[in-house]
Amino acid sequence: MSEVFGLKSKLGLASILFLLATLLLKISGLVRDMVIAFYFGGSLESDAFWAAFIIPNMIILFFTTGMKNALVPSYIQAIENKRHEYHLNHVFTGTILISLLISVLGIVLAPYYIPLLYGGLGEEGHDIAIVISMIFFSSIFFIGMNAVLEAFFDAENRFALSMVSQIIVIVSLILGAVFFAETLGVYALGYGYLAGTILSLLFKLVIVSKRNVPKLTWKLDWPEVKDFYIVFFPVALTVAVGQINLAVDNVFAAQFKDGVVTSLNYAKNLVHFPQAIFGVTIGTIIFPLISKANSQNDHQLFKKGIEQGLTTMLFILLPSIAGLMLLMPNIIELLYQRGQFDANATRTTVEIAYYYVGSVLFFSLHNVINKGFYTLKKGHLIMIVGGFAILLNAGLNVLFTNWLGYRGIPLASSVMAVFYVGTCFLIFLRLVDGLKLRMIGKEYAKIILAVAVMAGAVVGVLTLVEDWNNIMQIITVAISGAVVYTGSVFALKVDTIKIFTNRFLKKKGNQTS
């Protein structure tokens, strides 16, 4: 039976479940931020928590996202050779040893790197951040095992399980704050996270127990592990580029008034919400498909997948970003302005959020491009570009903070994203001997025009409902924007809409036949 590649043939039950689970994960992430804002506002404790979280979270993403990008194609290739269980078992055992080593090193080094990076926090802030950092590094031992199992689920198209296990971690952190913030203070967040990583691992082990994989192997095949990690490390380091840049941003933010570090992280998490839902979802869904196409040497199928991923990404993402920007003051006030998070903190967060828009747009498109690099096992090329991007981000932070103060920090990230993603795209074009750029450009022009029409309509609606409460404004604008955008893409004959309409018509035809 011939395989028709594309999102329109793969938006099945697994993909829908993954999208719903991703949405639930990101909503739980917003709830986490709301809980932290309620209990700790824009205080020194909150700043110390986010500062302590950055470096461990870099390592966490190094394992979780990096493992998916490296293990999914290697596991699928191993299936072709009927070596997949052997490969998975040795990667799992090797990862346990590596994650244990990183946990120990992180705990030992925390008292040294925290004062070095975050001098603006002061002695009290350093003491808080060091303890929290140690707690987070303790969780990395469990994160390593979690990462292998999540990649295994993704390779078998069981995408939703990875999201559910991550939700367990966030919910545990939230419960830690709710029940123990008054007695343990901000440390309750760290202990809640640690407990969540253990519970998440137990959840996965129960699921895979019936399969009896992966299994610990005491006679480790070091060449097998070495070959995997030669691919994994460049791939994982490219994932860490975003977190390294965020760490740079937080170092600069710590030099300003109390609360800027907190507002920076809240703004980034909120602005990147559409990317975290749609960008990650689309990238994750196409990854096993293009990996399979590449393993079968079907280069046209591989390129078609990348092209559809790029057009679908902008089709879904751009209207979401535009609507989010227009409603940003309403959303931030609704989500965060309560408890210890006052109106001044809201204004600071809104200002920062606007300047982050470039980073979310370009990094979302990069979610498709980087999957192509990883499939071709060329992740080291992104790593090289990422190294230059980190240096550029630091330089732009110096320049823009002298010009715009703390607002220059997100602006530097947006400008850096243009360079980083643009350079990677040009390199990828050379690797695959070009894509259908005229088709992509034509589709992008139509989508941008449709979003412009939608934005104009939304601005008009906002003037009519400006006296309404926040929730009613957001709901009214969201519905109006969705209706106008849908009508515009049909009127402009945007081809990407066919991915969804054809899928719907196919299901309807199957039901009536």
Q: Cα torsion at 74, 76, 80, 81 (round to 10°)? A: 40
Is the pLDDT confidence value at 513 over 60?
no
Which pLDDT value is given to residue 99?
Answer: 93
Residue 259: pLDDT band with limits 50, 70, 90:
confident
Residue 309's nearest CA partner among 273, 352, 265, 278 is: 278
Choose the weakest-confidence range: 20-29, 96-105, 466-475: 20-29
For all residues of the chain together, what is the average pLDDT? Answer: 83
Which pLDDT value is given to residue 304?
Answer: 84
pTM of the predicted structure, to 2 decimals: 0.70
CB 186 within 8 A of CB 179: no
Distance CA 507, CA 513 (A): 10
In the three-class reduction of DSSP (H, G, I as helix; E, B as strand; rest coil), residue 185 is classed as coil
Is the pLDDT confidence value at 89 over 70?
yes
String of DSSP letters for 394-436 = HHHHHHHHHHHGGGHHHHHHHHHHHHHHHHHHHHHHHHTT---
Q: Which two tokens stand for residue 260?
A: 């800027």
CB 56 within 8 A of CB 140: yes
Is the pLDDT confidence value at 409 over 80?
yes
The residue type of 102 is I
Distance CA 62, CA 68 (A): 10
Reported as a single tens digit per residue, the pLDDT across 92-147 is 888 899 999 999 999 999 999 999 888 777 888 899 999 999 999 999 999 999 99
Q: What is the mean pLDDT of residues 221-248?
A: 77
Choose the weakest-confidence range: 143-152, 277-286, 428-437: 277-286
Burial letters 372-389, b for 16+ CB under 10 A, else e: bbbbbbbbebbbebbeeb
Which pLDDT value is given to residue 130?
Answer: 94
- 431-439: long-range pairs with CB below 8 Å, 24+: 431/372, 431/373, 431/376, 431/378, 431/381, 432/299, 432/302, 432/303, 432/306, 432/372, 432/376, 435/303, 435/306, 435/307, 435/310, 436/303, 436/307, 439/307
Q: Torsions phi, psi of 104, nearest 5?
A: -65, -45
Is the pLDDT confidence value at 307 over 50?
yes
CA dist list (Å): 473 to 130, 458, 466: 42, 11, 7
At which residue do the structure tokens 């990690």 appear? 229
Distance CA 148, CA 457 (A): 46
Reported as a single tens digit per residue, the pLDDT across 47-81 is 888 888 888 988 888 888 778 777 877 887 787 77
Task: Find the angle CA(314)-CA(316)-CA(321) to the nearest 5 degrees.
Answer: 80
At which residue do the structure tokens 């929730």 appear? 471
CB 106 within 8 A of CB 56: yes
Is the pLDDT confidence value at 240 over 80?
no
Reported as a single tens digit per residue, the pLDDT across 497-507 is 876 665 544 54
Residue 345: pLDDT band with limits 50, 70, 90:
confident
Q: Which two tokens stand for residue 407?
A: 């607002």
Which pLDDT value is given to residue 501?
Answer: 63
Dihedral sign (CA 238, 239, 240, 244): positive
In the three-class reduction of DSSP (H, G, I as helix; E, B as strand; rest coil), residue 339 is classed as coil
Is the pLDDT confidence value at 305 over 60?
yes
CB 420 within 8 A of CB 386: yes
Distance CA 21, CA 288 (A): 18
